[in-house]
Structure 1
Amino acid sequence: MKLPSLPTILSFNGGYVDTLGFLSLSGLFTAHVTGNFVTLGATLAHGLDGAWSKLLALPMFCLVVFASRLVCLKLQSLDHSPIRPMLVVKLLLLLAVAVMALAYGPFHGDDTRITLAVGLTLVSAMAIQNGLHKAHLAKAPPSTLMTGTTTQIMLDLADILANSKPEDISAAKARVKKMGTTVATFALGCGVGALGTIYAPVIAFSLPAILAAASLFASSAGAES
């Protein structure tokens, strides 16, 4: 059986992990980290748990993206593609999350060392995914942030309706197909993440590691190394 492409797996995992973290870790966004500014405000206003993880998510995300980029540049200087090594690091981080979930889950969003460790480890894994996708899968739509992708879909649909140039319409249709698939895959990941949180709150933390392992064997269509 042929595996989905690497961008497709990343998009599904992006939606899944973000939803899983949000529902299990007091509204923590692990992939769309800037959303934590909003949830941190809500947490402080309503006296909810999870403030530390939301406060540290963006600095951790930035640090990991920065460090992983330095590693990628070093690998490229040695004429090695950084895609597979970074995917291995991401897999190890998600395996650590799965082990912590099996040992200490289910999580209830309270402020403990273990929930902080789980949250920031997930943020680190998704930081690697974001940085890798931005730098080396630039032809594929983003795998964790759908706002820009949805905006482009709407722009292209308007162009298809109003534009009379066949070559422009053809290019717009191709983008809508690619980006529409990405949004649908991300949304599917969100749905599965929600179901996992409801029906298997511990085992649900193992699926991201399984998907990360599968990504090592997937086609990196759209890679720009």
Structure 2
Amino acid sequence: MANRHALGIALGYTAGYVDTVGFVALSGLFTAHVTGNFVLIGSELAQPGHGVLIKLLAFPAFILGVVAARLLALALEARQRPAARALTLLQLLLLLAFMLLGRAAWPVQQTNALLPVLAGMAGAAAMGVQNAASRLVWSELAPTTVMTGNVTQLVLDLVDLARGNGAADTLSRLWKFLWPVLAFGLGALHGALAYLYGGFWALLLPMAMLAGVLLQANNGR
């Protein structure tokens, strides 16, 4: 159980951190909460100035990340091999691409230029892999990339507990959903500060966390 909580915290932190780095570095690009880009595209049409192309291409890049994760998991399942390690490694490599492409584009002045667009696509694809992995290999965890549903479940459980109507598993479910939410928020704060002082090198921290997840997967599966 402790390992499950630690994994949820690590992945939630990673999602909040990477999403914030992408948002700050690339004129409001969401990499984890990718559907949020639709709102930004709409606002761009009303008040131009922040770049539409990178937000448009983030969505298909995210989908490609999900597709790649699914096909890789199916191929490994056919060989009766676990997919957690491979999916974590794929996400790690995509985050590395995000960092290197972002560094090559530094300083980012026009987000619709080639290198910033490619960097944003790599970041979105990385988070697409994490979204898919949460369904494919870590389905027992609370979602770690989009927190709206988690917050809703937390509030429902808190209301039930306050009324004395919580089921036997309500408290354990509350903790399950609470830690990724807190980790996501903390990751978002740290991502903003780290980018302020380190630019795209800030992505080294979530990459290190994923390396830790990969080591844990190697030891445990």
TM over 0.5: yes
CA distance in structure 2 between the partners assigned to 1:183 and 1:109 by the alignment: 32
Contact 1:26–1:49, Cα closer than 8 Å, also in 2: yes
Tell me what 2:69 maps to. 68
CA distance in structure 1 between the partners assigned to 2:35 and 2:135 by the alignment: 17
Tell me what 1:175 maps to. 173
The reply on whether 1:148 has 2:146 as its aligned counterpart is no
Tell me what 2:189 maps to. 191
CA distance in structure 2 between the partners assigned to 1:50 and 1:215 by the alignment: 34
Greater mean deviation of Cα atoms: 74-83 or 93-102? 93-102
Tell me what 2:54 maps to. 53
TM-score w.r.t. the length of structure 2 is 0.90
Report the residue type matching 1:183 in the other structure.
Answer: V
1:213 partner SS: helix
1:12 partner SS: helix
Greater mean deviation of Cα atoms: 205-214 or 121-130? 205-214
CA distance in structure 2 between the partners assigned to 1:213 and 1:109 by the alignment: 32
Deviation at 1:219, TM superposition (A): 5.8
TM-score w.r.t. the length of structure 1 is 0.89
CA distance in structure 2 between the partners assigned to 1:202 and 1:127 by the alignment: 20
Contact 1:25–1:108, Cα closer than 8 Å, also in 2: no
Deviation at 1:49, TM superposition (A): 2.8
CA distance in structure 2 between the partners assigned to 1:119 and 1:143 by the alignment: 20
Tell me what 2:82 maps to. 81
Structure 1 ranges of 4+ moved more than 6 A: none
RMSD over equivalenced CA pairs, Å: 2.3
Per-residue CA distance 1:88-141 (angstroms, 9 max, x = gap): 111111112222233332434532101001000000111011101122111111
Identity rate of aligned residues, in percent? Answer: 37
CA distance in structure 1 between the partners assigned to 2:165 and 2:119 by the alignment: 52
Tell me what 2:23 maps to. 22
CA distance in structure 2 between the partners assigned to 1:135 and 1:101 by the alignment: 29
Contact 2:85–2:217, Cα closer than 8 Å, also in 1: no
CA distance in structure 1 between the partners assigned to 2:165 and 2:70 by the alignment: 43
Tell me what 1:98 maps to. 99
Contact 1:12–1:189, Cα closer than 8 Å, also in 2: yes
CA distance in structure 2 between the partners assigned to 1:106 and 1:179 by the alignment: 38
Tell me what 1:123 maps to. 124
Tell me what 2:113 maps to. 112
1:27 partner SS: coil
2:108 partner SS: coil
Query: How do 1:29-44 and structure 2 match up within 5 A?
Result: 29-44=30-45
What are structure 1's unaligned runs of at least 5 residues?
A: none
